[in-house]
């Protein structure tokens, strides 16, 4: 947590006593920070206790999720407090009946999304991430990713659930990837990539990208033709959609997925026939003009798919396409 800024005027413009010396100011600053830190932790501890009281839980969920960035070590506090994780899971399970048929209200969606935000906090903390994984808590989120309603309550639910999974894969960890590959996370992400909002598609594609960047994940997806083509078909469909409604952020993740697939020999051979032409003909010049990393990944993709003997020509062609 950053220190509270203290202002000391060492040269009063209208005379009078000078302010405290730098050493005194530093001491005063250090003394001021600790009580504030203690008060914040006391507030966090009380809110965590409130989670176990059904009458106080909704407000506690709202306050904790809103202020989670300012509470240091909130994740260990959530995980190690008696009954807290069970209370969060209770919130999640309680709305399962409203998923099918889709009758989830905005208020119920907001409440469970606050609970999911706290679980994302646990998933992202280095001291609690492995516990979160070993308890198989991501499985409780999968029913939310399996929904198809495009209404706002369901979209928020999908997006917040994806955020918790994204927090897991953000740190490169083969153990995390291995766990996810044993579950249905890839088909669920592909479903969101097909029908979600732009933001949900972006987070889902990021998760698939992180899986592909792990050697175990790349081998898993390329192990069978069905897995490869399931991923390739969705990526190709998204490229087609982006030609009509461009999104640089989403396109960047798609290109990175393709580029990583092209590093697998069998997948690279298949991409020679199924890589979308729009990634080759300059359709996305404007999207990529200010993103050198995405341009580099696209160049590597084209190089890998076309073969080493045509690399110089492709480099020249891409530079020409980008106006360089």
pLDDT band at 286 (very low <50, low <70, confident <90, very high): confident
Distance from C-alpha of 303 to C-alpha of 289, rounded to nearest angstrom: 19
| 26-48 average pLDDT score | 65
Q: Which tens digit of pLDDT belongs to each residue from 93-146?
A: 999 999 999 999 999 999 999 999 999 999 999 999 999 999 999 999 999 999
- pLDDT of 36 reads 54
Three-class secondary structure of residue 99 per DSSP = coil
- pLDDT of 41 reads 67
Token pair for residue 186? 């890839």
Higher-scoring residue by pLDDT: 82, 317 = 82
Residue 90 above 70 pLDDT? Answer: yes
* Listed range (21-30, 46-55, 288-297) with the worst mean pLDDT: 21-30
Residue 276 above 70 pLDDT? Answer: yes
- pLDDT of 319 reads 52
Q: What is the DSSP letter of 2?
A: P
How many residues does the structure list for the chain?
324
pLDDT band at 22 (very low <50, low <70, confident <90, very high): very low
- pLDDT of 4 reads 32
Q: Which tens digit of pLDDT belongs to each residue from 50-69?
A: 999 999 999 999 999 998 88
Q: What secondary structure does DSSP assign to 222-258, as a single string?
A: TSSHHHHHHHHHHHHHHHHHHHHS--HHHHHHHHHHH
- pLDDT of 43 reads 87
- pLDDT of 47 reads 95
- pLDDT of 82 reads 93
Q: Average pLDDT, whole number, for the chain?
A: 86
Residue 32 above 80 pLDDT? Answer: no
- pLDDT of 275 reads 95
Are 285 and 246 in contact, with CB atoms under 8 Å apart?
Answer: no
Q: List, in sequence order, every beta strand (DSSP E) within the chain.
A: none
- pLDDT of 19 reads 44
- pLDDT of 69 reads 86
Residue 312 above 60 pLDDT? Answer: no
Nearest alpha carbon to residue 190 among 233, 156, 222: 233
Residue 181 above 50 pLDDT? Answer: yes
| 203-230 average pLDDT score | 97
């Amino acid at each position: 947590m950053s220190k509270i800024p203290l202002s000391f005027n060492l040269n009063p413009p209208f005379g009078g006593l000078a302010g405290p010396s730098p050493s005194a100011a530093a001491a005063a600053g250090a003394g001021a920070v600790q009580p504030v830190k203690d008060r914040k932790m006391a507030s966090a501890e009380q809110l965590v206790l409130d989670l176990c009281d059904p009458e106080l839980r909704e407000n506690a969920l709202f306050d904790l999720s809103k202020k989670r960035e300012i509470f240091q070590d909130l994740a260990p506090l959530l995980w190690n407090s008696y009954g807290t994780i069970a209370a969060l899971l209770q919130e999640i399970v309680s709305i399962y009946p409203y998923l099918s048929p889709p009758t989830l209200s905005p208020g119920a969606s907001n409440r469970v999304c606050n609970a999911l935000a706290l679980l994302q906090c646990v998933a992202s903390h280095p001291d609690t991430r492995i516990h979160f994984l070993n308890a198989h808590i991501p499985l409780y989120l999968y029913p939310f990713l399996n929904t198809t309603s495009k209404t706002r309550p369901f979209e928020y639910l999908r997006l917040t659930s994806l955020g918790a999974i994204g927090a897991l894969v953000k740190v490169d960890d083969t153990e995390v990837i291995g766990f996810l590959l044993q579950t249905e996370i890839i088909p669920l992400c592909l479903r969101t990539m097909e029908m979600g909002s732009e933001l949900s598609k972006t987070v889902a594609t990021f998760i698939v990208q992180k899986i592909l960047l792990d050697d175990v994940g790349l081998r898993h997806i390329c192990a069978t033709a069905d897995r490869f083509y399931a991923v390739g078909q969705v990526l190709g469909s998204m490229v087609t959609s982006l030609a009509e409604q461009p999104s640089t952020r989403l396109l960047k993740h798609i290109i990175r997925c393709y580029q990583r697939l092209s590093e697998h020999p069998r997948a690279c051979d298949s991409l020679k026939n199924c890589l979308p032409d729009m990634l080759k003909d300059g359709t996305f010049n404007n999207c990529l003009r200010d993103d050198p990393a995405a341009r580099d990944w696209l160049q590597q993709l084209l190089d890998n798919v076309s073969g080493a003997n045509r690399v110089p020509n492709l480099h020249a062609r891409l530079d020409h396409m980008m106006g360089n």
